[in-house]
Structure 1
Amino acid sequence: MPFADMNWQPAQDAKAIPSALREMILDQHSLTRRLKQAHNNDFFVRVIAHDWQEPHASEKAFLHCDDQRASVREVLLFGSGQPVVFARSVLPESSLSGENKALLELGDKPLGEYIFSQPGLRRGPIEVADIKASEFNAYLEVEFTTEIAWARRSLFYLREKPIAVCEFFLPEPECAEGLSEIRE
């Protein structure tokens, strides 16, 4: 995965976040709720993959976890018919006991909507990085060329068990026609 070893930095140290994205990236609350509001509830999730795999070394380090298996979920979040966020969630096997097993059954329901409705949810600090948006071309009809995608990641503690959520904010492509279609 090309974005496995990104140069993450604490959000408070990131000066280069574009002003149009800064507030959304630094927001500690539910991105799902924010996107639904911004797009007048014209919002949905498309699951790209959700399967068991070994997390990348950088993800294990971020999670402070040695699990060899995790449920990894990759989705596109759509607003107003356009993909606006690519999200990757890493749910270590050791974090999926008890009520947390419900995370395995989300289907096309938003992860954020579920976790932010749970009592006692804690969020760790937000880290940010940028990446070439062309890294996501495999999932989209229209290809990015020189655009940059900004990302944030956080550890969430659901019932005191860590899960990692990484969200990549997709830029407006130079040509937006056909972007809502996903390559088969």
Structure 2
Amino acid sequence: MPIQTADYLLQAHWQAPAQLHLAPNLSSWLLETDSLTARLKSKSSLFQVQLLSEAEYALPSRLQRELADAKRAVLREVILRCDQQAMIYAQSWLPLTTLQAIAPLAVLGEQPLGEFIFRHPALQRGPIELARLDSRRLGLHHECPQADIWARRSIFVLDQHPLQVVEAFLPQVYQL
């Protein structure tokens, strides 16, 4: 199911935050420019990364230009949990060229991606875009009874090597 989920996310109606009117509790999370991992860790006594899948795929053509014309990438899906409760579903496209250049990204396992990239001295982040998603299309119905959820995406560049991160915010995160 990861590639169908990736296709769904690529086809979502992504918008610049300035085009939307967000409640303060939503914008506080959706527009966070620092590490979500660090923020979640500060709000819980037990933070966990649950690795759902990690596999190599041909990079969808929609992402090839944005990710330096990469052709193949690892698609990584995780759920970030605070005190065993799912808070964020995250999906990352890590081009093979990026993984070869920045080897620690290739062996993250259940380590948080955000923890690594926000410590990287040459981190650059592209604009944040937002979309409303159907949690059922992400396979999150057992974690989130509410179908309508917000997500954000952005491109990160580490030493001229790009990767894309999409994060879908489950409603319980706004209670932290």
TM-score range, shorter chain: 0.7 to 0.9
5 Å matches for 1:59-138? 59-61=63-65, 63-98=66-101, 100-136=102-138, 138=139
Residues 148-159 of structure 1: pairs in structure 2 closer than 5 A: 148-159=148-159
1:170 & 1:55 partners in 2: Cα distance?
26
Query: Which residue is 2:30 aligned to?
Result: 25
Q: CA contact under 8 A between 2:67 and 2:95: conserved in structure 1?
A: no
In the alignment, the residues of structure 1 paired with residue 60 and residue 107 of structure 2 have an alpha-carbon distance, to the nearest angstrom, of 23
The aligned counterpart of 2:57 is: 53
User: How far has the Cα of 1:37 moved from its partner?
Assistant: 1.1
Identity %: 33
> 3-state DSSP class of the match of 1:3?
helix
Corresponding residue number in structure 2 for 1:4: 10
- 1:107-140: CA deviation from partner (whole Å, max 9, x where unpaired): 100000011111111111111111112223x356
Is 2:156 the partner of 1:160? no
State the partner residue of 1:182: none
Q: Is 2:44 the counterpart of 1:43?
A: no
Once residues 39 and 24 of structure 1 are traced to their aligned partners in structure 2, the CA distance between those partners, rounded to angstroms, is 15
Could you say if the C-alpha distance between residues 139 and 147 of structure 1 is closer, same or farther in structure 2, counting changes exceeding 3 Å? closer
| Paired residue total | 166
**Closer, same or farther in 2 for the Cα pair 1:94/1:85, shift >3 Å?**
same
Specify every segment of 5 or more residues in structure 1 that has no aligned partner in the other structure, as ranges.
Answer: 173-184
1:51 to partner: Cα distance: 1.1
What is the distance in 2 between the residues matched to 1:73 and 1:120?
22
Quote the Cα distance in structure 2 between the aligned partners of 1:151 and 1:69.
Answer: 24
Decide whether the 8 Å contact of 1:44 with 1:77 is kept in 2.
Answer: yes
RMSD, matched Cα: 1.8
Q: Check 1:129–1:142 CA distance in 2 against 1; reply closer, same or farther (3 A cut).
A: closer
Give the gaps of 5 or more residues in structure 2: none
CA contact (8 A) 1:5 1:58 kept: no
Q: Which has the higher helix share?
A: 2
d(CA) in 2 for partners of 1:77, 1:8: 22
Q: Distance in 2 between matches of 1:110 and 1:161?
A: 18
Residues 1:20 and 1:143: Cα distance change in structure 2 (over 3 Å) = closer
TM-score between the two structures when normalised by the length of structure 1: 0.82
Q: How far apart in 1 are the matches of 2:31 and 2:88? A: 15
CA distance, structure 1, for counterparts of residue 168 and residue 64 of structure 2: 19
Q: Given the superposition, is the C-alpha separation of residues 142 and 159 from structure 1 closer, same or farther in structure 2, using an over 3 Å criterion?
A: closer
